[in-house]
Chain A
Amino acid sequence: MKKLFTLAALLMLSTPALATHKGPHILVSVNGLVCDFCAVSMNKTFSKKAGVAEVDVNLTTKIVRIDMKPGADIGDDEIRKGITDAGFDVVSIKRN
């Protein structure tokens, strides 16, 4: 019984870790990213898309990192459209 409780406790503790696990991430190099508002627009553009776990903008490297949920993906065309609709230009898209 004690082992059962231990197992249940371990499962419960591991659940949040499983929930925050991220899938592959996409690195998009963008021209025109000069202010915090630019970062906000990137976040709003991509964070509402299905399958996106997290969006991070680095204003120094001009890289927008899009973390996907496990098994999810987003096409290059959709990424380019999102960046263009936000008013910026895509330089390159890399996937890890």
Chain B
Amino acid sequence: MPIPMPRSICSVLSALAFLCAFPPHAADARPVSYAGGWMLMANNDMFENTLSAMYSPKATYSIGPFISHYRDTDGELAGMQFNWLAKRWNNPDSQGNIYFLSGLGIANDDGEARAGGYAGIEADWEDRRYYVSYENRYTAAGEDVKQEFQQKARIGIAPYVAEAGSLHSWLMLQVDHNPEDRDPWTVTPLLRVFKGDYLAEAGISDSGRFLFNLAITY
């Protein structure tokens, strides 16, 4: 008798299969890529599994489909996202960015569909040694799917400074704040590695839950 697989695991496996199905060139986890660039992302943490594809017609905005599965409600939100690079600071040795994030689509809970979406802000700054970022978003997809404000912040340090084409590694600490959650604060140490077009992140939160993100750009 086949053992039923949890939907969250199915989502992760689907995301991996989707990413592996493309012969890539690829990646950084920024919500906007260079003009003409495609980005595929799979984000899996203690709250949700999200699979998205983004195309950047210009270096200032991106658009593409996404689907999110929320672990606590077992609901889903699928639609189109639009990300806008509102401001970029290109400095000689660092870069800073402010993005506006938004998505609009259909929320689904046990076959019951309704309109849903999210909106938020992301800001980051990095040089070749240090990284900081902050992101918030409000998701309005109904109480049965997801109706809450979330925010998270990251700090990171590169143990070594790598040249172009080499393996880049970052040790990061992510703090999530979900006011509606039973445990509003979550801390996740994680390792980010990327080389050329590929980026991967893996970590375990203080509550013992996994974080695993992949990004590939074309």
* A positions within 8 Å CB-CB of B: 30-32, 34-41, 44-45, 56-60, 62, 84-89, 91
B177 contacts the other chain (CB 8 A)? no
Shortest Cβ gap from A60 to chain B (Å): 7
CA distance A4 to B37 in the complex (A): 52
Shortest Cβ gap from B100 to chain A (Å): 16
B93 contacts the other chain (CB 8 A)? yes
How many residues on chain B are close to A (CB under 8 Å)? 37
State whether B35 touches A35 (Cβ < 8 A): no
Chain B residue nearest to A57 (CB atoms) is B164
B44 contacts the other chain (CB 8 A)? no
CA distance A89 to B168 in the complex (A): 23
Interface segment, one of B5-13, B47-55, B72-80, B194-202: B194-202
B209 contacts the other chain (CB 8 A)? no
B127 contacts the other chain (CB 8 A)? yes
Shortest Cβ gap from B85 to chain A (Å): 8
- Given contacts A59-B128, A88-B90, A35 and B163 within 8 Å (CB-CB): no
B91 contacts the other chain (CB 8 A)? yes
Q: Which of B36, B88, B92, B194 contacts A62 (CB 8 A)?
A: B92
* B positions within 8 Å CB-CB of A: 25, 27-28, 30, 32-37, 58-60, 85, 88, 90-95, 126-128, 161-166, 168, 194-197, 199, 217
CA distance A62 to B127 in the complex (A): 12
CA distance A34 to B164 in the complex (A): 10
State whether A36 touches B95 (Cβ < 8 A): no
State whether B127 touches A37 (Cβ < 8 A): no
Give every chain A residue within 8 A of B94 (Cβ-Cβ). 34
- Given contacts A34-B93, A35-B168, A58-B164, A41 and B58 within 8 Å (CB-CB): no
Give every chain A residue within 8 A of B165 (Cβ-Cβ). 36, 39
CA distance A36 to B158 in the complex (A): 13
7 further A-B contacts with Cβ under 8 Å, apart from A35-B168, A58-B164, A87-B88, are A32-B90, A36-B165, A36-B194, A36-B195, A41-B33, A41-B34, A57-B164
Q: Which of B88, B92, B196 contacts A36 (CB 8 A)?
A: B196
Give every chain B residue within 8 A of A34 (Cβ-Cβ). 93-95, 126-128
- Given contacts A31-B91, A60-B163, A87-B59, A36 and B168 within 8 Å (CB-CB): yes
Shortest Cβ gap from A45 to chain B (Å): 7
Q: Which of A32, A37, A57 contacts B217 (CB 8 A)?
A: A37
